[in-house]
Homo-oligomer: A and B are copies of this chain.
Protein backbone atom coordinates (compact mmCIF):
# COMPACT_ATOMS: atom_id res chain seq x y z
CA UNK A 1 0.00 0.00 0.00
CA UNK A 2 1.27 3.45 -0.91
CA UNK A 3 -0.43 6.40 0.79
CA UNK A 4 0.34 9.45 -1.31
CA UNK A 5 0.29 12.67 0.64
CA UNK A 6 -0.64 14.43 -2.61
CA UNK A 7 -4.12 12.94 -2.40
CA UNK A 8 -4.43 11.51 1.11
CA UNK A 9 -7.37 13.14 2.87
CA UNK A 10 -5.34 14.80 5.58
CA UNK A 11 -4.20 18.28 6.51
CA UNK A 12 -1.60 18.67 9.20
CA UNK A 13 -2.12 21.57 11.57
CA UNK A 14 0.68 23.86 12.60
CA UNK A 15 -0.98 24.97 15.82
CA UNK A 16 -2.35 23.01 18.71
CA UNK A 17 -6.09 22.59 18.42
CA UNK A 18 -8.21 24.29 21.04
CA UNK A 19 -10.06 21.12 22.00
CA UNK A 20 -7.02 18.95 22.67
CA UNK A 21 -5.68 18.67 26.20
CA UNK A 22 -3.13 15.90 26.19
CA UNK A 23 0.07 15.64 24.14
CA UNK A 24 -0.92 12.45 22.31
CA UNK A 25 -4.40 13.72 21.58
CA UNK A 26 -3.01 17.05 20.37
CA UNK A 27 -0.61 15.24 18.06
CA UNK A 28 -3.36 12.95 16.71
CA UNK A 29 -5.47 15.98 15.83
CA UNK A 30 -2.55 17.95 14.42
CA UNK A 31 -1.39 14.99 12.34
CA UNK A 32 -4.88 14.46 10.96
CA UNK A 33 -5.78 11.11 12.52
CA UNK A 34 -8.90 12.29 14.30
CA UNK A 35 -11.09 15.37 14.62
CA UNK A 36 -13.72 16.45 17.07
CA UNK A 37 -17.29 15.71 15.94
CA UNK A 38 -19.05 16.89 19.07
CA UNK A 39 -18.59 16.76 22.82
CA UNK A 40 -16.92 13.40 23.49
CA UNK A 41 -17.35 12.35 19.86
CA UNK A 42 -14.61 11.86 17.31
CA UNK A 43 -14.27 11.44 13.61
CA UNK A 44 -11.45 9.27 12.32
CA UNK A 45 -9.68 10.54 9.20
CA UNK A 46 -8.00 8.00 6.86
CA UNK A 47 -4.79 7.57 8.87
CA UNK A 48 -6.82 6.84 12.00
CA UNK A 49 -8.66 3.71 10.88
CA UNK A 50 -5.36 2.24 9.65
CA UNK A 51 -4.03 2.32 13.22
CA UNK A 52 -7.34 1.45 14.81
CA UNK A 53 -7.84 -1.64 12.66
CA UNK A 54 -4.40 -2.99 13.50
CA UNK A 55 -5.13 -2.59 17.19
CA UNK A 56 -8.53 -4.23 16.80
CA UNK A 57 -7.03 -7.13 14.84
CA UNK A 58 -4.51 -7.86 17.62
CA UNK A 59 -7.25 -7.77 20.25
CA UNK A 60 -9.40 -10.13 18.17
CA UNK A 61 -6.55 -12.55 17.46
CA UNK A 62 -5.68 -12.90 21.11
CA UNK A 63 -9.31 -13.44 22.09
CA UNK A 64 -9.66 -16.10 19.40
CA UNK A 65 -6.41 -17.69 20.48
CA UNK A 66 -7.65 -18.11 24.07
CA UNK A 67 -10.76 -19.82 22.72
CA UNK A 68 -13.27 -17.02 23.23
CA UNK A 69 -15.95 -16.92 20.55
CA UNK A 70 -17.05 -13.72 18.85
CA UNK A 71 -20.67 -12.62 18.86
CA UNK A 72 -22.21 -9.23 18.21
CA UNK A 73 -25.09 -7.49 19.95
CA UNK A 74 -26.91 -4.35 18.94
CA UNK A 75 -25.79 -1.15 20.63
CA UNK A 76 -29.40 0.04 20.73
CA UNK A 77 -31.37 -2.18 23.09
CA UNK A 78 -34.79 -2.39 24.65
CA UNK A 79 -35.12 -1.45 28.30
CA UNK A 80 -36.37 -4.78 29.63
CA UNK A 81 -33.12 -6.71 30.23
CA UNK A 82 -31.58 -3.71 31.99
CA UNK A 83 -34.73 -3.32 34.05
CA UNK A 84 -34.39 -6.93 35.22
CA UNK A 85 -30.81 -6.40 36.36
CA UNK A 86 -31.60 -3.05 37.98
CA UNK A 87 -29.11 -1.20 35.80
CA UNK A 88 -31.73 0.86 33.94
CA UNK A 89 -31.85 2.93 37.16
CA UNK A 90 -28.43 2.15 38.61
CA UNK A 91 -26.58 3.63 35.67
CA UNK A 92 -27.98 7.04 36.41
CA UNK A 93 -27.32 9.94 34.08
CA UNK A 94 -24.47 8.09 32.36
CA UNK A 95 -26.94 5.95 30.42
CA UNK A 96 -28.23 7.33 27.12
CA UNK A 97 -31.95 6.61 27.15
CA UNK A 98 -34.38 7.18 24.29
CA UNK A 99 -37.80 6.20 23.06
CA UNK A 100 -38.73 4.79 19.70
CA UNK A 101 -41.65 5.97 17.58
CA UNK A 102 -44.01 3.80 19.62
CA UNK A 103 -42.84 5.33 22.88
CA UNK A 104 -40.96 2.20 23.97
CA UNK A 105 -37.94 2.82 26.18
CA UNK A 106 -34.54 1.98 24.77
CA UNK A 107 -30.93 2.57 25.73
CA UNK A 108 -27.54 2.79 24.10
CA UNK A 109 -25.64 0.02 25.82
CA UNK A 110 -22.70 0.99 28.06
CA UNK A 111 -21.88 -2.72 28.51
CA UNK A 112 -23.77 -5.88 27.63
CA UNK A 113 -23.76 -8.12 30.72
CA UNK A 114 -27.51 -8.66 30.54
CA UNK A 115 -27.56 -9.56 26.86
CA UNK A 116 -24.73 -12.07 27.17
CA UNK A 117 -26.37 -13.64 30.21
CA UNK A 118 -29.72 -13.99 28.46
CA UNK A 119 -28.12 -15.34 25.31
CA UNK A 120 -26.33 -18.11 27.18
CA UNK A 121 -29.52 -18.86 29.09
CA UNK A 122 -31.28 -19.15 25.74
CA UNK A 123 -28.86 -21.65 24.26
CA UNK A 124 -27.24 -23.62 27.06
CA UNK A 125 -28.61 -25.74 29.84
CA UNK A 126 -25.95 -28.15 31.06
CA UNK A 127 -22.64 -28.06 32.90
CA UNK A 128 -21.29 -29.96 29.89
CA UNK A 129 -21.67 -26.79 27.81
CA UNK A 130 -19.33 -24.89 30.13
CA UNK A 131 -16.82 -23.30 30.43
CA UNK A 132 -17.68 -20.75 27.78
CA UNK A 133 -16.15 -17.40 26.91
CA UNK A 134 -17.88 -15.03 24.51
CA UNK A 135 -16.75 -11.63 23.31
CA UNK A 136 -17.74 -8.83 21.02
CA UNK A 137 -16.02 -5.75 19.67
CA UNK A 138 -18.70 -3.12 19.61
CA UNK A 139 -19.47 0.56 19.93
CA UNK A 140 -20.42 1.56 23.46
CA UNK A 141 -22.11 4.69 24.74
CA UNK A 142 -21.73 6.55 28.01
CA UNK A 143 -23.10 10.00 28.65
CA UNK A 144 -20.03 11.13 30.57
CA UNK A 145 -20.45 14.08 32.90
CA UNK A 146 -17.18 15.50 31.63
CA UNK A 147 -16.09 14.04 28.29
CA UNK A 148 -12.41 14.86 27.98
CA UNK A 149 -8.97 13.80 26.89
CA UNK A 150 -9.99 12.92 23.35
CA UNK A 151 -10.45 9.21 22.82
CA UNK A 152 -9.68 8.45 26.46
CA UNK A 153 -13.04 9.54 27.81
CA UNK A 154 -15.44 9.73 24.90
CA UNK A 155 -19.19 9.31 24.83
CA UNK A 156 -19.02 6.92 21.87
CA UNK A 157 -16.14 4.49 21.90
CA UNK A 158 -15.24 0.93 20.96
CA UNK A 159 -14.79 -1.76 23.53
CA UNK A 160 -13.96 -5.41 23.40
CA UNK A 161 -16.10 -6.88 26.13
CA UNK A 162 -16.09 -10.52 26.99
CA UNK A 163 -17.81 -12.69 29.53
CA UNK A 164 -16.97 -16.09 30.94
CA UNK A 165 -19.52 -18.63 32.14
CA UNK A 166 -18.60 -21.35 34.57
CA UNK A 167 -20.37 -23.83 36.73
CA UNK A 168 -18.26 -23.23 39.84
CA UNK A 169 -15.70 -20.94 41.45
CA UNK A 170 -12.69 -22.96 40.32
CA UNK A 171 -13.93 -22.68 36.77
CA UNK A 172 -14.33 -18.93 37.12
CA UNK A 173 -10.82 -18.66 38.51
CA UNK A 174 -9.46 -20.58 35.50
CA UNK A 175 -11.41 -18.46 33.00
CA UNK A 176 -10.25 -15.33 34.78
CA UNK A 177 -6.65 -16.49 34.53
CA UNK A 178 -7.05 -17.28 30.83
CA UNK A 179 -8.31 -13.78 30.20
CA UNK A 180 -5.51 -12.34 32.29
CA UNK A 181 -2.97 -14.19 30.17
CA UNK A 182 -4.69 -13.12 26.96
CA UNK A 183 -4.64 -9.50 28.09
CA UNK A 184 -0.95 -9.71 28.88
CA UNK A 185 -0.32 -11.13 25.40
CA UNK A 186 -2.51 -8.45 23.80
CA UNK A 187 -0.94 -5.48 25.51
CA UNK A 188 2.55 -6.86 24.97
CA UNK A 189 1.84 -7.13 21.24
CA UNK A 190 0.43 -3.60 21.21
CA UNK A 191 3.68 -2.33 22.66
CA UNK A 192 1.95 -0.92 25.73
CA UNK A 193 3.64 -0.81 29.10
CA UNK A 194 1.25 -1.59 31.89
CA UNK A 195 0.85 -2.35 35.57
CA UNK A 196 -1.72 -4.84 36.77
CA UNK A 197 -3.37 -3.38 39.86
CA UNK A 198 -5.94 -4.71 42.28
CA UNK A 199 -9.26 -3.01 41.88
CA UNK A 200 -12.43 -2.68 43.89
CA UNK A 201 -14.98 -5.35 43.28
CA UNK A 202 -17.13 -5.24 46.36
CA UNK A 203 -20.01 -3.14 45.19
CA UNK A 204 -20.48 -5.15 42.01
CA UNK A 205 -20.76 -8.32 44.01
CA UNK A 206 -17.68 -10.01 42.60
CA UNK A 207 -14.70 -11.40 44.35
CA UNK A 208 -11.62 -10.47 42.34
CA UNK A 209 -10.86 -7.65 40.03
CA UNK A 210 -7.75 -6.22 38.42
CA UNK A 211 -7.07 -3.33 36.12
CA UNK A 212 -4.40 -2.99 33.47
CA UNK A 213 -3.08 0.55 33.76
CA UNK A 214 -0.68 2.24 31.41
CA UNK A 215 1.50 4.44 33.66
CA UNK A 216 1.64 8.03 32.40
CA UNK A 217 1.36 11.39 34.13
CA UNK A 218 -1.59 12.27 31.85
CA UNK A 219 -3.62 9.26 33.01
CA UNK A 220 -6.83 9.99 34.86
CA UNK A 221 -6.63 7.00 37.18
CA UNK A 222 -4.51 7.14 40.29
CA UNK A 223 -2.88 3.99 41.57
CA UNK A 224 -0.28 3.03 44.11
CA UNK A 225 2.64 0.67 44.03
CA UNK A 226 5.20 -0.45 46.56
CA UNK A 227 8.82 -1.52 46.15
CA UNK A 228 7.73 -5.01 47.12
CA UNK A 229 5.33 -5.36 44.19
CA UNK A 230 1.99 -4.37 45.66
CA UNK A 231 -0.15 -2.41 43.16
CA UNK A 232 -3.74 -1.24 43.46
CA UNK A 233 -5.94 1.54 42.28
CA UNK A 234 -6.63 4.06 45.04
CA UNK A 235 -10.18 2.83 45.52
CA UNK A 236 -8.86 -0.61 46.38
CA UNK A 237 -6.12 0.41 48.80
CA UNK A 238 -6.67 -1.10 52.24
CA UNK A 239 -5.38 0.77 55.28
CA UNK A 240 -3.40 -1.33 57.75
CA UNK A 241 -5.20 -1.24 61.09
CA UNK A 242 -3.01 -0.19 64.06
CA UNK A 243 -3.24 -2.00 67.38
CA UNK A 244 -5.55 -0.51 70.01
CA UNK A 245 -3.91 1.84 72.48
CA UNK A 246 -4.18 1.97 76.22
CA UNK A 247 -5.88 5.14 77.37
CA UNK A 248 -5.62 4.81 81.14
CA UNK A 249 -3.49 7.94 81.42
CA UNK A 250 -5.52 10.11 79.06
CA UNK A 251 -7.19 13.00 80.88
CA UNK A 252 -10.94 13.39 80.81
CA UNK A 253 -12.19 15.03 77.63
CA UNK A 254 -12.54 18.79 77.94
CA UNK A 255 -14.25 21.34 75.71
CA UNK A 256 -12.30 24.51 74.97
CA UNK A 257 -13.11 27.83 73.41
CA UNK A 258 -11.13 27.89 70.11
CA UNK A 259 -12.03 31.08 68.27
CA UNK A 260 -10.84 31.71 64.72
CA UNK A 261 -9.85 28.13 63.94
CA UNK A 262 -11.74 27.41 60.75
CA UNK A 263 -9.08 25.05 59.38
CA UNK A 264 -7.07 22.17 60.74
CA UNK A 265 -3.95 24.31 60.35
CA UNK A 266 -5.30 27.18 62.45
CA UNK A 267 -6.70 24.73 64.99
CA UNK A 268 -3.32 23.01 65.43
CA UNK A 269 -1.55 26.36 65.77
CA UNK A 270 -4.13 27.55 68.32
CA UNK A 271 -3.84 24.33 70.30
CA UNK A 272 -0.06 24.50 70.40
CA UNK A 273 -0.25 28.10 71.61
CA UNK A 274 -3.04 27.82 74.17
CA UNK A 275 -3.18 24.12 75.14
CA UNK A 276 0.34 22.78 74.65
CA UNK A 277 0.76 19.08 75.34
CA UNK A 278 3.71 18.07 77.42
CA UNK A 279 5.32 15.41 75.29
CA UNK A 280 5.37 17.05 71.82
CA UNK A 281 3.60 19.53 69.59
CA UNK A 282 0.06 18.95 68.42
CA UNK A 283 -0.05 17.88 64.81
CA UNK A 284 -2.73 17.68 62.17
CA UNK A 285 -2.85 13.93 62.66
CA UNK A 286 -4.02 14.50 66.25
CA UNK A 287 -7.22 16.08 65.04
CA UNK A 288 -10.27 14.16 63.88
CA UNK A 289 -11.90 15.78 60.88
CA UNK A 290 -15.59 14.90 60.51
CA UNK A 291 -16.94 15.36 57.02
CA UNK A 292 -20.66 15.10 56.38
CA UNK A 293 -22.11 14.05 53.01
CA UNK A 294 -25.50 12.95 51.74
CA UNK A 295 -26.03 9.49 50.30
CA UNK A 296 -28.71 9.31 47.65
CA UNK A 297 -30.20 5.87 47.06
CA UNK A 298 -31.52 4.44 43.80
CA UNK A 299 -34.69 3.31 45.47
CA UNK A 300 -35.20 6.90 46.60
CA UNK A 301 -34.30 8.81 49.74
CA UNK A 302 -31.20 10.59 51.06
CA UNK A 303 -29.49 10.03 54.38
CA UNK A 304 -26.57 11.87 55.95
CA UNK A 305 -23.27 10.12 56.60
CA UNK A 306 -20.42 11.53 58.66
CA UNK A 307 -16.93 10.27 57.89
CA UNK A 308 -14.16 10.82 60.46
CA UNK A 309 -10.58 10.92 59.23
CA UNK A 310 -7.32 12.03 60.82
CA UNK A 311 -6.91 15.76 60.13
CA UNK A 312 -3.72 15.32 58.11
CA UNK A 313 -5.69 13.87 55.23
CA UNK A 314 -8.85 14.67 53.29
CA UNK A 315 -11.75 12.47 52.43
CA UNK A 316 -11.18 11.09 48.89
CA UNK A 317 -14.60 11.25 47.30
CA UNK A 318 -13.78 8.60 44.71
CA UNK A 319 -12.72 6.19 47.45
CA UNK A 320 -15.80 6.97 49.50
CA UNK A 321 -18.03 6.65 46.44
CA UNK A 322 -16.58 3.24 45.63
CA UNK A 323 -17.43 2.07 49.15
CA UNK A 324 -21.05 3.16 49.21
CA UNK A 325 -22.07 2.18 45.66
CA UNK A 326 -24.69 1.98 44.26
CA UNK A 327 -25.63 4.90 46.53
CA UNK A 328 -24.37 8.24 45.27
CA UNK A 329 -22.33 10.66 47.38
CA UNK A 330 -23.74 14.19 47.23
CA UNK A 331 -22.66 17.40 48.95
CA UNK A 332 -24.33 18.32 52.23
CA UNK A 333 -26.09 21.62 51.56
CA UNK A 334 -26.96 24.52 53.84
CA UNK A 335 -30.55 23.28 53.67
CA UNK A 336 -29.37 19.90 54.85
CA UNK A 337 -27.59 21.53 57.80
CA UNK A 338 -30.78 23.40 58.64
CA UNK A 339 -32.69 20.09 58.64
CA UNK A 340 -30.11 18.46 60.93
CA UNK A 341 -29.49 20.92 63.78
CA UNK A 342 -27.31 18.39 65.64
CA UNK A 343 -24.62 19.05 63.03
CA UNK A 344 -22.82 22.34 63.65
CA UNK A 345 -21.03 23.31 60.45
CA UNK A 346 -17.26 23.29 60.96
CA UNK A 347 -17.55 21.88 64.50
CA UNK A 348 -19.03 18.42 64.03
CA UNK A 349 -17.90 16.03 66.73
CA UNK A 350 -18.50 12.32 67.40
CA UNK A 351 -20.41 12.95 70.60
CA UNK A 352 -23.69 13.55 68.77
CA UNK A 353 -23.16 10.95 66.05
CA UNK A 354 -23.98 7.29 65.56
CA UNK A 355 -27.00 5.28 64.65
CA UNK A 356 -27.80 4.76 68.31
CA UNK A 357 -27.42 8.44 69.20
CA UNK A 358 -30.24 10.95 69.42
CA UNK A 359 -29.42 12.27 65.95
CA UNK A 360 -29.32 8.75 64.48
CA UNK A 361 -26.73 9.95 61.98
CA UNK A 362 -24.44 7.21 60.75
CA UNK A 363 -20.80 7.70 61.68
CA UNK A 364 -17.96 5.81 60.01
CA UNK A 365 -14.30 6.41 60.69
CA UNK A 366 -11.00 5.77 59.02
CA UNK A 367 -9.47 2.41 60.07
CA UNK A 368 -6.68 4.33 61.82
CA UNK A 369 -9.24 5.55 64.38
CA UNK A 370 -8.89 2.52 66.66
CA UNK A 371 -9.76 2.08 70.29
CA UNK A 372 -7.66 4.25 72.56
CA UNK A 373 -6.77 6.88 69.98
CA UNK A 374 -7.03 10.37 71.43
CA UNK A 375 -8.35 13.28 69.39
CA UNK A 376 -8.92 16.98 69.15
CA UNK A 377 -12.21 17.37 67.32
CA UNK A 378 -15.38 19.43 66.98
CA UNK A 379 -17.44 20.02 70.12
CA UNK A 380 -20.74 20.51 68.26
CA UNK A 381 -20.76 24.15 69.33
CA UNK A 382 -19.65 27.00 67.15
CA UNK A 383 -16.08 28.10 67.98
CA UNK A 384 -15.41 25.15 70.29
CA UNK A 385 -13.37 21.97 70.08
CA UNK A 386 -13.05 19.07 72.44
CA UNK A 387 -9.62 17.76 73.53
CA UNK A 388 -8.60 14.30 74.66
CA UNK A 389 -11.66 12.62 73.19
CA UNK A 390 -10.84 8.93 73.22
CA UNK A 391 -12.24 6.39 70.78
CA UNK A 392 -13.83 3.53 72.67
CA UNK A 393 -14.12 5.61 75.84
CA UNK A 394 -15.89 8.79 74.75
CA UNK A 395 -17.39 7.68 71.45
CA UNK A 396 -18.02 4.53 69.44
CA UNK A 397 -18.30 4.83 65.65
CA UNK A 398 -20.76 2.71 63.70
CA UNK A 399 -17.86 1.19 61.79
CA UNK A 400 -14.91 1.98 59.57
CA UNK A 401 -14.72 3.07 55.96
CA UNK A 402 -11.87 3.32 53.42
CA UNK A 403 -12.46 6.95 52.51
CA UNK A 404 -9.34 8.84 53.57
CA UNK A 405 -7.02 9.88 50.80
CA UNK A 406 -3.99 7.71 50.20
CA UNK A 407 -0.72 9.61 50.60
CA UNK A 408 2.70 9.02 49.17
CA UNK A 409 4.63 6.98 51.70
CA UNK A 410 1.64 5.27 53.32
CA UNK A 411 2.53 1.67 54.15
CA UNK A 412 1.39 -1.01 51.71
CA UNK A 413 -1.23 -3.26 53.31
CA UNK A 414 0.85 -6.36 52.60
CA UNK A 415 3.90 -4.94 54.33
CA UNK A 416 5.83 -4.58 51.07
CA UNK A 417 7.00 -1.07 51.81
CA UNK A 418 5.89 2.52 51.39
CA UNK A 419 3.37 3.29 48.66
CA UNK A 420 4.19 5.51 45.73
CA UNK A 421 1.30 7.31 44.02
CA UNK A 422 1.24 7.28 40.23
CA UNK A 423 -1.18 7.98 37.41
CA UNK A 424 -2.21 5.76 34.56
CA UNK A 425 -4.66 5.12 31.74
CA UNK A 426 -6.93 2.14 32.29
CA UNK A 427 -6.64 -0.04 29.21
CA UNK A 428 -8.15 -3.24 30.51
CA UNK A 429 -10.25 -4.53 33.35
CA UNK A 430 -10.84 -8.11 34.39
CA UNK A 431 -13.48 -8.88 36.87
CA UNK A 432 -15.02 -11.83 38.67
CA UNK A 433 -18.67 -10.88 38.49
CA UNK A 434 -19.83 -13.94 40.31
CA UNK A 435 -23.54 -14.63 40.24
CA UNK A 436 -24.99 -11.10 40.24
CA UNK A 437 -26.33 -11.22 36.68
CA UNK A 438 -26.95 -14.95 36.60
CA UNK A 439 -29.08 -14.54 39.73
CA UNK A 440 -30.96 -11.53 38.42
CA UNK A 441 -31.67 -13.18 35.07
CA UNK A 442 -31.96 -16.79 36.31
CA UNK A 443 -29.11 -18.28 34.30
CA UNK A 444 -28.90 -21.82 35.62
CA UNK A 445 -27.60 -25.11 34.26
CA UNK A 446 -27.88 -28.69 35.39
CA UNK A 447 -24.78 -29.94 37.19
CA UNK A 448 -23.33 -33.48 37.15
CA UNK A 449 -25.97 -34.59 39.61
CA UNK A 450 -28.86 -33.18 37.63
CA UNK A 451 -29.28 -30.29 40.03
CA UNK A 452 -29.90 -26.74 38.84
CA UNK A 453 -26.99 -24.46 39.75
CA UNK A 454 -26.53 -20.77 39.07
CA UNK A 455 -23.73 -20.00 36.65
CA UNK A 456 -20.83 -17.83 37.79
CA UNK A 457 -19.52 -15.19 35.43
CA UNK A 458 -16.54 -13.04 34.71
CA UNK A 459 -16.51 -9.79 32.81
CA UNK A 460 -13.49 -8.53 30.90
CA UNK A 461 -13.02 -5.33 28.95
CA UNK A 462 -10.46 -3.71 26.70
CA UNK A 463 -11.05 -0.19 25.45
CA UNK A 464 -10.04 -0.63 21.82
CA UNK A 465 -10.28 3.01 20.75
CA UNK A 466 -8.80 3.96 24.10
CA UNK A 467 -5.86 1.63 23.51
CA UNK A 468 -5.06 3.65 20.37
CA UNK A 469 -5.06 6.79 22.51
CA UNK A 470 -2.99 5.12 25.23
CA UNK A 471 -0.37 4.13 22.67
CA UNK A 472 -0.33 7.70 21.35
CA UNK A 473 -0.05 9.26 24.82
CA UNK A 474 2.74 6.97 25.96
CA UNK A 475 4.85 7.21 22.80
CA UNK A 476 4.33 10.83 21.69
CA UNK A 477 7.37 13.11 21.89
CA UNK A 478 7.96 16.79 21.25
CA UNK A 479 8.01 16.19 17.48
CA UNK A 480 4.73 14.32 17.27
CA UNK A 481 3.42 10.78 17.13
CA UNK A 482 5.72 7.83 17.34
CA UNK A 483 3.82 4.62 16.61
CA UNK A 484 5.19 1.19 17.43
CA UNK A 485 5.67 -0.57 14.11
CA UNK A 486 2.96 -3.18 14.75
CA UNK A 487 0.20 -0.55 14.86
CA UNK A 488 1.70 2.21 12.69
CA UNK A 489 -0.36 3.30 9.66
CA UNK A 490 2.65 2.43 7.49
CA UNK A 491 6.17 1.12 7.90
CA UNK A 492 8.15 3.68 5.95
CA UNK A 493 7.60 7.36 5.22
CA UNK A 494 9.43 8.28 2.01
CA UNK A 495 10.14 11.99 1.69
CA UNK A 496 10.96 13.46 -1.68
CA UNK A 497 12.98 16.38 -0.36
CA UNK A 498 14.59 17.48 -3.61
CA UNK A 499 13.44 19.94 -6.18
CA UNK A 500 14.34 18.19 -9.41
CA UNK A 501 12.77 15.23 -11.09
CA UNK A 502 15.60 12.96 -10.01
CA UNK A 503 14.55 12.80 -6.38
CA UNK A 504 10.91 12.43 -7.39
CA UNK A 505 11.66 9.46 -9.61
CA UNK A 506 13.93 7.88 -7.02
CA UNK A 507 11.33 8.32 -4.28
CA UNK A 508 8.63 6.79 -6.50
CA UNK A 509 10.87 3.86 -7.37
CA UNK A 510 11.73 3.21 -3.75
CA UNK A 511 8.07 3.40 -2.71
CA UNK A 512 7.08 1.02 -5.50
CA UNK A 513 9.79 -1.43 -4.49
CA UNK A 514 8.71 -1.37 -0.85
CA UNK A 515 5.06 -1.79 -1.82
CA UNK A 516 5.93 -4.77 -4.01
CA UNK A 517 7.70 -6.33 -1.01
CA UNK A 518 4.56 -5.88 1.11
CA UNK A 519 5.90 -2.92 3.06
CA UNK A 520 3.33 -0.15 3.57
CA UNK A 521 4.53 3.29 2.57
CA UNK A 522 3.57 6.90 3.10
CA UNK A 523 4.99 8.81 0.14
CA UNK A 524 5.35 12.56 0.41
CA UNK A 525 4.88 13.42 -3.24
CA UNK A 526 3.22 16.79 -2.63
CA UNK A 527 4.18 19.61 -4.94
CA UNK A 528 5.90 22.84 -3.94
CA UNK A 529 6.67 22.34 -0.27
CA UNK A 530 9.90 23.12 1.49
CA UNK A 531 11.94 20.17 2.77
CA UNK A 532 11.49 21.61 6.27
CA UNK A 533 7.70 21.27 6.11
CA UNK A 534 8.03 17.73 4.79
CA UNK A 535 10.42 16.71 7.57
CA UNK A 536 8.15 18.19 10.23
CA UNK A 537 5.12 16.40 8.82
CA UNK A 538 7.02 13.13 8.70
CA UNK A 539 7.93 13.47 12.37
CA UNK A 540 4.40 14.48 13.26
CA UNK A 541 2.76 11.54 11.45
CA UNK A 542 4.95 9.13 13.39
CA UNK A 543 5.66 6.34 10.88
CA UNK A 544 8.56 4.39 12.43
CA UNK A 545 11.08 4.69 9.59
CA UNK A 546 11.65 7.85 7.58
CA UNK A 547 13.63 7.91 4.33
CA UNK A 548 14.79 11.20 2.88
CA UNK A 549 15.48 11.25 -0.82
CA UNK A 550 17.09 14.64 -1.20
CA UNK A 551 20.30 16.55 -1.84
CA UNK A 552 22.51 13.58 -1.11
CA UNK A 553 20.99 11.64 -4.00
CA UNK A 554 23.72 13.06 -6.25
CA UNK A 555 26.20 11.21 -4.04
CA UNK A 556 24.15 8.06 -4.47
CA UNK A 557 22.78 7.95 -0.92
CA UNK A 558 19.47 8.41 0.85
CA UNK A 559 19.08 9.13 4.53
CA UNK A 560 17.24 6.64 6.74
CA UNK A 561 16.00 7.87 10.07
CA UNK A 562 14.51 5.99 12.99
CA UNK A 563 11.57 8.06 14.17
CA UNK A 564 11.84 6.97 17.80
CA UNK A 565 15.56 7.17 18.46
CA UNK A 566 16.25 9.90 15.94
CA UNK A 567 19.24 7.91 14.67
CA UNK A 568 20.16 8.63 11.07
CA UNK A 569 22.28 6.76 8.64
CA UNK A 570 23.23 7.18 5.02
CA UNK A 571 22.38 4.22 2.84
CA UNK A 572 23.48 3.69 -0.72
CA UNK A 573 20.56 4.01 -3.12
CA UNK A 574 21.29 0.61 -4.57
CA UNK A 575 20.97 -0.99 -1.14
CA UNK A 576 18.17 1.15 0.22
CA UNK A 577 15.35 -1.22 -0.68
CA UNK A 578 16.91 -4.30 0.92
CA UNK A 579 18.02 -2.27 3.91
CA UNK A 580 14.53 -0.91 4.54
CA UNK A 581 12.85 -4.26 4.10
CA UNK A 582 15.27 -5.68 6.66
CA UNK A 583 14.58 -2.81 9.08
CA UNK A 584 10.83 -3.31 8.78
CA UNK A 585 11.03 -7.05 9.34
CA UNK A 586 13.50 -6.97 12.20
Residues of A within 8 A of B (CB): 7-11, 32, 35, 37-39, 41-46, 48-49, 52, 69-78, 93-94, 96-98, 100-101, 104, 106, 108, 115, 119, 122-124, 132, 134, 139, 141, 143, 145, 155-156
* Chain B nearest Cβ from A498, distance in angstroms: 22
Q: Which residues of B contact A122 (CB under 8 A)?
A: 35
Q: Which of B70, B76, B94, B100 contacts A46 (CB 8 A)?
A: B70
Q: Which residues of B contact A98 (CB under 8 A)?
A: 96-98, 108
* Chain B nearest Cβ from A89, distance in angstroms: 15
Q: Which of B52, B75, B93 contacts A139 (CB 8 A)?
A: B75
Q: Which of B35, B49, B52, B141 contacts A76 (CB 8 A)?
A: B141
Whether B78 contacts A49 by the Cβ 8 Å rule is: no
Chain B, Cβ-Cβ closest to A155: B76
| Whole-angstrom CA separation of A43 from B43 in the bound complex | 26
14 A-B residue pairings within 8 Å (CB atoms): A7-B132, A9-B69, A9-B134, A37-B73, A38-B74, A39-B78, A42-B74, A43-B71, A45-B71, A48-B71, A48-B72, A94-B101, A97-B98, A101-B145
Whether B75 contacts A49 by the Cβ 8 Å rule is: no
* Chain B nearest Cβ from A422, distance in angstroms: 31
Q: Are A43 and B96 also in contact (CB < 8 A) when A78-B38, A115-B37, A143-B101 are?
A: no
Whether A49 contacts B74 by the Cβ 8 Å rule is: no
Whether B101 contacts A156 by the Cβ 8 Å rule is: no
Q: Quick one: copies of this chain in the complex? A: 2
Whether B76 contacts A43 by the Cβ 8 Å rule is: no
Q: Which residues of B contact A108 (CB under 8 A)?
A: 76, 98, 108
Q: Which residues of B contact A41 (CB under 8 A)?
A: 74, 76-78
Whether B69 contacts A156 by the Cβ 8 Å rule is: no
| Whole-angstrom CA separation of A49 from B136 in the bound complex | 10
Chain B, Cβ-Cβ closest to A50: B70
| Whole-angstrom CA separation of A101 from B146 in the bound complex | 11
| Whole-angstrom CA separation of A96 from B75 in the bound complex | 13
| Whole-angstrom CA separation of A49 from B137 in the bound complex | 11
Q: Which of B49, B70, B77, B100 contacts A96 (CB 8 A)?
A: B100
Whether A156 contacts B76 by the Cβ 8 Å rule is: yes
Whether A143 contacts B43 by the Cβ 8 Å rule is: no
Q: Which residues of B contact A45 (CB under 8 A)?
A: 71, 119
Chain B, Cβ-Cβ closest to A67: B7
Whether A49 contacts B37 by the Cβ 8 Å rule is: no
Q: Which residues of B contact A93 (CB under 8 A)?
A: 101
Q: Which of B11, B43, B100, B124 contacts A74 (CB 8 A)?
A: B43
Q: Which residues of B contact A75 (CB under 8 A)?
A: 75, 139, 156
Whether A69 contacts B96 by the Cβ 8 Å rule is: no
Chain B, Cβ-Cβ closest to A37: B74
* Chain B nearest Cβ from A296, distance in angstroms: 16
Q: Which residues of B contact A104 (CB under 8 A)?
A: 39
| Whole-angstrom CA separation of A75 from B139 in the bound complex | 9
Q: Which of B46, B70, B77 contacts A38 (CB 8 A)?
A: B77
What 3 A-B pairs come out closest when comparing CB atoms? A98-B98, A44-B72, A41-B74
Task: Apart from A49-B70, A139-B139, list 17 A-B contacts with CB within 8 A.
Answer: A9-B69, A9-B123, A38-B106, A41-B74, A41-B78, A42-B74, A43-B115, A43-B119, A44-B71, A46-B69, A48-B72, A49-B72, A75-B75, A76-B108, A100-B155, A101-B143, A108-B108
* Chain B nearest Cβ from A234, distance in angstroms: 26
| Whole-angstrom CA separation of A72 from B115 in the bound complex | 26
Chain B, Cβ-Cβ closest to A138: B139
| Whole-angstrom CA separation of A346 from B382 in the bound complex | 88
| Whole-angstrom CA separation of A94 from B101 in the bound complex | 8
* Chain B nearest Cβ from A453, distance in angstroms: 20
| Whole-angstrom CA separation of A73 from B39 in the bound complex | 13
Chain B, Cβ-Cβ closest to A147: B100
Whether A100 contacts B143 by the Cβ 8 Å rule is: yes
| Whole-angstrom CA separation of A39 from B106 in the bound complex | 11
